[in-house]
Amino acid sequence: MPTCRHCYGTYTRDQFIHGNGPKSQVCVRCGLEKGLVEEHEVASLYDKSTANARFSAVARRWSPLMWLSVLWTAWILFLSDVEPWDLYTLILLALCTLIVPVYMFFFSSKHMAVMARLTPEYERPKGH
């Protein structure tokens, strides 16, 4: 993947502006900040609301795994020594650990649909 020569970020080819000279190997964000292109010329640039919506969708997608790791850590540190609750919470955590991958598999198409809806249309320029 190409790297932006201003911010040194690595992005896919559609996140770069098209051109030679000063526009060569410049991502859309840096090109807009440096004044190389206008905002209406870069269709692949996400505005603030789209970027926030995409971040929220990704956070909703991966939050069950984060919560599962937090709960396992809490069980290991605090609840494993408490007498009847250690077994009850262990069984509950084991069930959740088995259910979360199935849940994520069944709702993966919904996540892909949300991300496709939040991705702006982009027509790749000739030569890209």
Summarised one tens digit per residue, pLDDT across range 76-116 is 999 888 888 889 999 999 999 999 999 999 999 999 999 98
pTM (2 decimals)?
A: 0.68
pLDDT for res 102: 97
Q: How confident is the model at residue 69 (pLDDT cuts 50, 70, 90)?
A: very high
Q: CA 92 → CA 31, 75, 95, 99, 103, distances in Å?
A: 51, 11, 5, 10, 16
Quote the pLDDT of residue 104: 96
